[in-house]
Structure 1
Amino acid sequence: MAKRIIQVQEKVPFRLLAPLSLQHMFAMFGASVLVPFVLGINPAVVLLMNGIGTLLFILITKGRAPAYLGSSFAFLGPASLVIAKWGFPYAQGGFVVTGICGCILAFIIYKVGTKWIDIVLPSAAMGPVVALIGLELSSNAASNAGLLDKVVDPANVIVFAVTLGVAIVGSVCFRKFFSVIPILIAIVCGYIAAICVGIVDLRPVQEASFFMMPHFQAPKFDIHAILMILPVLLVITSEHIGHQIVTSEVVGRDLLKDPGLHRSLFADNFSSALSGLVGSVPTTTYGENIGVMAITGVYSVQVIGGAAVLSIICSFIGPLSALIQTIPGPVIGGISFLLYGMIGTSGLRILVDDQVDYSKSINMILTSVVFVTGLSGVTIHFGTVELTGMVLACVVAMLLSLLFYVFDKFHLLNPEG
């Protein structure tokens, strides 16, 4: 029997709203709070701005693009260098300027349109680029689960297996109410398993004060710090386009046209600039939440908005925030295993749905080179910015596609090509 689909602008019954929203918040939580931990700032302000940024995204895109905004990993490299040299407020200044430049780029796209995407990223290139969004994160899922440690802890394996097993079985076997919350059920089961094997420390929950005010601070601006962070705009733009395309495949609507790439890109960057102004980290659309939509068939922005509200509430309630932070890596890893795989499958779906003809050597070359570039581990450095994985593959795909387009215009391609 076909899965019940809840469409983007469809209202969700109140009894379903809370568990579906919790499911989305839990899915993004592990990765999103990791960024502030790495940069050495309070995660409460990040949870707050993730929630506010998501609500702004929904508002700016007129409720037509389901996306949860979590902490961006793209800024970690240059931001760490800026923090080490000048301090976090100067990194905030870089976040603000990069976000503003992204808004300007969105305005340019509004004027020139999106037809150029079909030229620089045809289906034979876009399919593998989208697939790489999930595939290159697969090692992160295994690492979170503790499966890549030199000595693998059996307790981690048990919790990982319980979480992933419940998610898989639930996605294909659960019915009615439970069929739309398999990820949430898997997280709860994994957490219970983690308590049973003794890898959960509940002391932070007991010690947390009930009300907790997030720590706000103003940015500082230095041209050198800004120039170290600004090139990340190329990375986050490529990532955003990829996420919007894979979300379009999942929900069955072309989000680049409606509500438009200019709106979603503006909303993403505006949220990043606003986050930088108050002491948080830049935001980005989250692959984990795209995976949740792909598995559950629930695309409603009302649910995404509910998750954003919960994130805002958690940023002020100490025990609740602390409880979520006690979710162990094997639980996050078990869920991520499935979610990242679903994103990879969505990329392959582009190739199938668009009926890419691999008897044509151009298509064969594009897909082959993009996959190898993204999975090879090759890294190219431009100052403090590094291009690797999906982003490098996207850049290579664009250059190759443009080259083939020029060859075609000047009739330089052979008939077999």
Structure 2
Amino acid sequence: VIGPVIMVIGLSVAVVASQMAMGQAGGNQAVDYAQSLLLSGFTFAVTVVVAVFGSKMMKLVPILIGVGAGYVAALLMGLVDTAPIAAAPWFAVPHFETPQINWQAALFMLPVAIAPAIEHIGGVMAIGKVTGKDYAKDPGLDKTLAGDGLGVCVAGLIGGPPVTTYGEVTGAVMITKNGNPKIMTWAAIFAICMAFFGKFNAFLASIPLPVMGGIMILLFGTIASLGLKTLIDAKVDLMQPKNLVIVSSVLTTGVGGMIIKLGSVSFAGVGLCAVLAIILNWILPDEKPAETLPGGEI
């Protein structure tokens, strides 16, 4: 069940990565097509070369090196607007909103929360496969889900958007091999501190779409590859009808963008295919092993 769901996490956002690599945003061509392909291809190539052939130190930061090289190339191609960086203040307090309680909206979001909760479980399983640790047992899904929910609440209290478990982070961990939780903690603290520097935020906003597209192609692809590795490690026999039905159905509904609407509530993507996989695994019978007769015949 976990393997195909992890594959869907990566493949479901593959379209977004490809669009970014082509310089498209919201269905519109934001950056010249030919220049976008050249820039995203260059960024992708630099990241791959560093990740595969770089020194031990360079392999820790291939994504940063790839983004940096792509940004320099974009500057030389005239695709970076530096005016917002120059106009941005050095120090800026993020905009905070006054929290308001809306019970109607809260009740509406309760069933919707099932999808990100399932996606969270898939993300925890995926990162566990990468690091070789079972986070479902230690610290436990109850604690990881509680932490994810607490993060959503804090984000809402300070006027930020809802947060969820991001699959691209799993891809980054796979490439950099940086799976130490302490590193992630310090990285989070650093990100919070940098949010108060206006020029840094303006710099991040100035990174062209094709540069990030070249990176995302690699990150999202690694997640799908991890799902395939999960199936291989578990020695899943796809010749068995039950396994074939589960994997095929999950991939088709997850990647195909199927949406099921129940009144005002919609289920799609990882949440939908995970529920489908669980139900199919529950109701479909396991194939009985063939019996061998005394004479050795089956």
Fold equivalence (TM over 0.5): yes
1:201 offset after TM fit, Å? 0.6
CA–CA distance in structure 2, aligned partners of residues 301 and 150 of structure 1: 39
What whole-Å deviation, never above 9, does each CA across 1:244-296 have from its counterpart, x for those lacking one? 01001100111101111111110000111122122112222221211111012
What whole-Å deviation, never above 9, does each CA across 1:122-144 have from its counterpart, x for those lacking one? xxx21111111001111111122
What whole-Å deviation, never above 9, does each CA across 1:384-415 have from its counterpart, x for those lacking one? 432222221111111111212xx56xxxx766
Paired residues for 1:11-410 under 5 Å: 125-146=1-22, 153-404=33-284, 407=285
Structure 1 alignment gaps of length 5 or more: 1-124
Secondary structure at 1:387 match in 2 = strand
Structure 2 alignment gaps of length 5 or more: 291-298
1:242 offset after TM fit, Å? 0.5
Tell me what 2:295 maps to. Answer: none
Amino acid at match of 1:260: G
Tell me what 1:29 maps to. Answer: none
Tell me what 2:296 maps to. Answer: none
1:150 offset after TM fit, Å? 7.1
Amino acid at match of 1:333: G
Secondary structure at 2:91 match in 1 = coil
**TM-score with structure 1 length normalisation?**
0.65
Tell me what 2:294 maps to. Answer: none
CA–CA distance in structure 2, aligned partners of residues 358 and 155 of structure 1: 42
What whole-Å deviation, never above 9, does each CA across 1:211-266 have from its counterpart, x for those lacking one? 11111122222332223322221011111000001001100111101111111110
1:147 offset after TM fit, Å? 5.2
Secondary structure at 2:207 match in 1 = coil
Answer with 1 or 2: which has the greater Rg: 2
Amino acid at match of 2:103: I
Question: Post-superposition, which runs of at least 4 consecutive aligned residues in structure 1 deviate over 6 A?
Answer: none
1:319 offset after TM fit, Å? 0.9
Q: Tell me how many residue pairs correspond in the alignment.
A: 286
CA–CA distance in structure 2, aligned partners of residues 354 and 268 of structure 1: 28
Identity of aligned residues (%): 35
Tell me what 2:293 maps to. Answer: none
CA–CA distance in structure 2, aligned partners of residues 143 and 195 of structure 1: 21
Amino acid at match of 1:132: V
Secondary structure at 1:283 match in 2 = coil
Amino acid at match of 2:18: A
